[in-house]
Structure 1
Amino acid sequence: MSQPESTSQEQLPAWVESSLFKGMLRGIERETLRMQSDGFLSQESHPKALGSALTHPHITTDYSEALMEFITPPKASIQETLDYLTDIHTVAHQHLENEEKLWPLSMPCMLDDTDDSIRLAQYGTSNIGLFKTLYRRGLGVRYGRRMQTISGVHYNLSFPDQLFEALQNNETDEKLKALSAQDYRSHRYLGLIRNFIRLTPLVIFLVGASPSVCKCFMTGREHHLLPLLKGTLYLPFATALRMGRFGYQNSAQKQLGIHYNNLPDYLSGLQKAVKTSYKPFSRLGLNDANGEPLQINDHVLQIENEYYSLVRPKQVPKDGETPSEALANRGIGYVELRAVDVNPYSPIGIDENTAGFLEVLALYCLLTDSPELLEQEQDVIEKNQTEVVNRGRAPNASIVENGQAHFIEDWSRTYLNNMQVFAELLDDAYQTQIYSNALQLMQARVDEVDETLSAKMIADTLEHGGTWSFGSHLALQHAEAYEKHKLSKTTSAYFKEIAQASLEKQEQLEQDTTQSFEEFLAQFR
């Protein structure tokens, strides 16, 4: 095993000042299942007091009716974002019915033997609402409903215009200097994305938190997991099974050849996928025996959102725009980092250390060289990812980079050292210690593998006697934290108003629906 070389510049160029990073925005999307008091997945509808899952800007549902998604608006600091997310959790907790709790783990709570009890999310009777439910029905027939009960955290991040202007002004390549501001920004964000993909094993190792699963999750599936204790399966050195073959994986998508080397190619690859039939999905049929639609279409992707990726380029769509059209029209506006497990020890699924680490990592990915990412390297990255998912904490776990194998601790340590200067810049920009503290904590996890979230979870699962007992213990602790958190009168009033407004908006959409869903779907198809 060789020692990885430091890849950071000895020092950043003189023109890079901390003031360039002021104006970064970040937002968080956190998923969590509603769990019944007996530990099983909730069978209740989305609480009406929380508003309409179709039109509420902050509290919605993902795949199943019981899988809640909490969305913060973009905020100017990590603390503001976490505070907002805490408010959302508190509001949601206040309106849970029948002693339900929010399940704290990425991998699901107890599921029945059949998928029938995993209710599809319902969005009302408007065509757009029925379309959203049909999309989820299609996911269920394609991949099974169990896969869709997994929760994650998505971290959205944008950098300020002045940073891109300074970067472009200091380019030595005349072609890059000649790009429009929009195209140059997209070019740099794609560089960030490629580097983030290369360093995803680092994210999985440091913040992975799904080393084990409830046995019920694997019902009817072949697997190589081992019994940890009754009712819980695991791998001895696993970090994030959510990110492996039992999580969001799609073999059809691997054949797409979607790359992040330039925006037009990325978009054309995505468009090809939403317009190309795929035989295994064609065989499922478009409608069931009763003539009810089973999936939107038989294409590789029903819609663009079905593309499961570690990181996504994003732009806020205007009314009537698809995500691809928004990107084509206005370029990349921010990135969505998606390789993040729910931190079960945090009542809101993420803490300031993970947030600080992700922002330092993203800045590092943005400002360091990022050559094109081609098939051969992609294959190596996927093998690295599999290694870290299944054996990341093993004494001989290794990462391959530039044809050389490195022990994962050496490899991780090298990158964390390279990132130190970026953490200091962000600390200076925001007059904080969050970023340096975050790297220090991640370094401690590299130095002592038992400090990783995945190692702690295995120890605590054993101590509590299984996944359900451990998860229930944390769910109860988190419920107490929500109850102690006092909402301001303004915040309470805002969430009450927005819930009512969302219900009215859904009702209006339903009243305005004149076309039958059959016609609407036929037109889309």
Structure 2
Amino acid sequence: MTESLNASSIVPTWLTPNHLQGMLRGIERESLRMQSNGFLSQQPHPKTLGAALTHPFITTDYSEALMEFITPPQPDIAKALEFLENIHAYAAKHLPEGESLWPLSMPCMLDEQEENIPLAQYGHSNIGRFKTLYRRGLGVRYGRRMQTISGVHYNLSFPDQLFASLQQQEQNPLLKKLNLQDYRSHRYFGLIRNFLRLIPMVMYLLGASPTVCRCFVTGRKHQLQPLVGGTLYLPDATALRMGRLGYQNSAQRQLGIHYNHLPDYLTGMRKAIRTPYPAFQSLGLNDANGEPIQINDHVLQIENEYYSLIRPKQTPQGQETPSQALEARGVAYVELRAVDVNPFSPIGINTDSAAFLEILALYCLLDESPKITENEQDLLDKNQAITVTNGRDPQLELHTLSGTVKLQQWMRQHFAQMQGLAELLDQNEHDQIYQNAFRCMQQRCDDVSQTLSSQILDQTKASSGTWSFGANTAKQHQTHYQQYALSDQLEQYFNEVALQSITQQQHLESQPQPDFCDYIKPYRNLLEN
């Protein structure tokens, strides 16, 4: 991404709407189940929703009370959001009595005992027990409270005809000689690097976690200030979920995993799952009764533990790990993970956010993307940290390789370059959803009071605290789900999927199971060569 931005559009003259036909997107939205008293649910995952281990659309994440809603890839944004709304409405009808879905990224009320955050359970098969053990290990390493944070992951792929045309425009003969799979991975990694450079824009425009319940920081040092009703905040915060209070792993920072080249990325990931880490070694592998408490004592138990704002993805086949899938077939899509749950939407995300993420991703794909040096990575880390805590400060300055620049000015420069992409994307939709989204984000850039974080702060004050705001919003969403017209055909379809998932789990559990300690031995013997 070029350091010196001008006002010209990034849209190349050869790019047409036809190049973008075949884009696919899928959405994953997390949400805690909350009891009527405001505390985290202690009830198991509802049986009527099927088996969390094998259900393709409705599952659990870290906790038994942390639901995850997953859409399959969809040809347009409207279909993705509609599917997401359908599964929300279906799930809401099957929640235990008195429960609702917590609408914020930062969790609802948690009591003092972390053990009362129930780990997700996936049955008696070894693969199910393995998934629960992985979560137990996360809790041992980082604390269970951190794992109750919710987010939205936006998965996006571009069609091969776009990559083929991009390759034809290349001046570098080495890039022109790559096969399409390797060239596609090369361009996706360029997208990833540019997305990391633009994280302050994502935090400012889509950040929706400026406050937390006091219970979330029990036993932790912090610099938050009291607001109202047991709520802590920072006056200009945007996305505390993405800061020091959110997902952090100091061990991972020392690995130097980067996104300059797919083979180097894979090497870094493999090193992480093979390298013991003293702080995790000191925790032990098993408890006093000999029961495993973490898969291993390495920097990463498995690859999924690597926290990243964006991930290169390829669908694993059979028993493949994510890295093996990437090595075999290259990058198929990217997972944008830096998105807070939008509490003003019953499904955690709306059309404006989805469309803007797609404009941004296409911009990141098309623009120049030099390798990220150690010096630049330090600046990117610093920019993320200050935007999380002070992003709504109109005087905030970002750090670039060519000096400092005010956040608002920097965003406007990028807006000027990407505007043409919104117009181009709308030509495929025969609508103006991308241009409307673009204007919405421009308004947030120009008027800080229009940002989600500012509106949430206002609502929290008016409601006398985070819990009251969240509970009132959850009640509104519950009413929305109840009134949502889910067709009899869809109801029957989801009933059948739930039953099929239960049958699949029962089949897994009926297979001969080796001793679980033997099952996890290979994961404990992955020492670095």
TM-score strictly above 0.5 = yes
Residue 7 of structure 1 deviates from its aligned partner by: 4.8
Name 1:221's counterpart in structure 2. 220
Superposition deviation, residue 524 in structure 1: 3.2
Provide, for residues 396-425 of structure 1, a one-character-per-residue CA deviation record: whole Å limited to 9, x for no partner: 111122332111111111111211011111
Superposition deviation, residue 269 in structure 1: 0.3
Q: Show CA shifts across 1:138-185 (max 9, x none).
A: 000000000000000000000001001111112111111100110000
Q: Distance in 1 between matches of 2:522 and 2:457?
A: 50
Contact between 2:7 and 2:413, CA under 8 Å: does it hold in 1?
no
Q: Deviations over 1:349-406 (max 9, x none)?
A: 0000000000000000000000001211011011111111000011311112233211
The one-letter amino acid of 1:341's match is D
Within 2, Cα distance between the matches of 1:422 and 1:443? 14
* Stretch of structure 1 that moved more, 11-20 or 251-260: 11-20
Distance 1:8 1:306 in 2: 40
Letter of the structure 2 residue corresponding to residue 40 of structure 1:
F
Map of 2:128 onto structure 1: 129
Structural mapping, 1:67-78, within 5 Å: 67-78=66-77
Name the SS for the 2:112 alignment partner: coil
Aligned pairs for 1:376-387 within 5 A: 376-387=375-386
Deviation at 1:6, TM superposition (A): 2.5
Q: Deviations over 1:467-486 (max 9, x none)?
A: 01000010000011111111
Q: Do the aligned partners of 2:28 and 2:71 also contact (CA within 8 Å) in 1?
A: yes
Structure 2 contact 10–418 (Cα < 8 Å) conserved: no
Query: Structure 1: how far apart are the matches of 2:7 and 2:126?
Result: 51
Residue 254 of structure 1 corresponds to: 253
- 1:475-490 → structure 2 map (5 Å cutoff): 475-490=474-489
Aligned to 1:49: 48
Q: Cα RMSD between the aligned structures? A: 1.0
Q: Does 1:189 align with 2:188?
A: yes
SS in 2 for 1:400: strand
Give the 3 Å change call, closer, same or farther, for CA 10–502 of structure 1 in structure 2: closer
Deviations 1:442-470 (A, max 9, x none): 01011110110000011100100100100
Report matched runs for 1:406-485 at 5 Å: 406-485=405-484
State the AA in 2 paired with 1:418: Q
Task: Output the CA distance in 2 between the equivalents of 1:234 and 1:451.
Answer: 18
8 Å CA contact 2:205, 2:444 repeated in 1 = yes
How far did residue 73 of structure 1 move? Answer: 0.1
In structure 1, what residue type is equivalent to 2:254? Q
Indicate the SS of the match to 2:439: helix
User: What does residue 321 of structure 1 align with?
Assistant: 320
The CA deviation at 1:270 is 0.2
Distance 1:241 1:56, change over 3 A: same
| Aligned partners of 1:8 and 1:368 also within 8 Å | no
Closer, same or farther in 2 for the Cα pair 1:74/1:407, shift >3 Å?
same
* CA shift digits 1:303-350 (9 cap, x unpaired): 000000000000000011100000000000000000000000000000
Contact 1:127–1:513 at 8 Å: present in 2 too?
Answer: no
For the residue of structure 2 that corresponds to 1:213, the secondary structure is: strand
Matched, 1:159 2:151: no
Q: 1:10-56: per-residue Cα shift (whole Å, max 9, x none)?
A: 56332111110010000000000000000000000000000000000
Question: Secondary structure of 2:227's partner?
Answer: strand
Specify the code of the residue in structure 1 equivalent to 2:332: G
Q: How far, CA to CA, are the matches of 1:508 and 1:92 in structure 2?
A: 24
Structure 2 CA distance, aligned partners of 1:224 and 1:472? 26
Distance 1:473 1:13 in 2: 47
Report what 1:244 is aligned to.
243
Deviations 1:51-79 (A, max 9, x none): 00000000000001000000000000000
- 2:359 counterpart residue number: 360
Residue 309 of structure 2 is matched in structure 1 by 310
Closer/same/farther in 2, CA of residues 227 and 300 from structure 1, 3 Å limit: same
Match of 2:527 in 1: none
**Aligned equivalents of 1:112 and 1:450: distance in 2?**
33
Q: How does 1:3-402 map to 2 (within 5 A)?
A: 5-7=4-6, 10=9, 12-402=11-401
List gaps (5 residues or longer) in structure 1: none
Query: What is the CA–CA distance in structure 1 between the aligned matches of 2:242 and 2:476, rounded to whole Å?
Result: 26
Deviation string 1:66-100 (CA, Å, 9 cap, x unpaired) is 00000000000000000000001001101001210
For residues 447 and 491 of structure 1, the distance between their equivalents in structure 2, rounded to whole angstroms, comes to: 42
Change (3 A) 1:8 1:65: farther
C-alpha displacement of 1:5: 4.4
Deviation (angstroms), 1:489: 2.0
Which residue of structure 2 aligns with residue 524 of structure 1?
523
Q: In the TM superposition, what is the alpha-carbon distance from 1:114 to its structure 2 partner?
A: 1.4
Q: In the aligned structure 2, how far is the partner of 1:8 from the partner of 1:332?
A: 31
Q: CA deviation at 1:511?
A: 0.7
What are the Cα deviations for residues 233-286 of structure 1, in whole angstroms up to 9, with x where unaligned? 000000000000000111111111011111100001000000100000000000
User: Whole-Å Cα distance in 2 between the matches of residues 31 and 501 of structure 1?
Assistant: 23
The separation in 2 between residues aligned to 1:381 and 1:400, in whole angstroms, is 8
Q: Which runs of no fewer than 5 residues in structure 2 stay unpaired?
A: 525-529
Give the secondary-structure state (helix, strand or coil) at the position aligned to 1:337. strand
Aligned length: 522
Q: Could you tell me whether the CA contact under 8 Å between 1:5 and 1:414 is conserved in 2?
A: no
Q: Whole-Å Cα distance in 2 between the matches of residues 513 and 216 of structure 1? A: 44
- Structure 1 residues 10 and 232: CA distance shift in structure 2, 3 A: closer
What one-letter code is carried by the residue in structure 2 that aligns with 1:478?
A: H
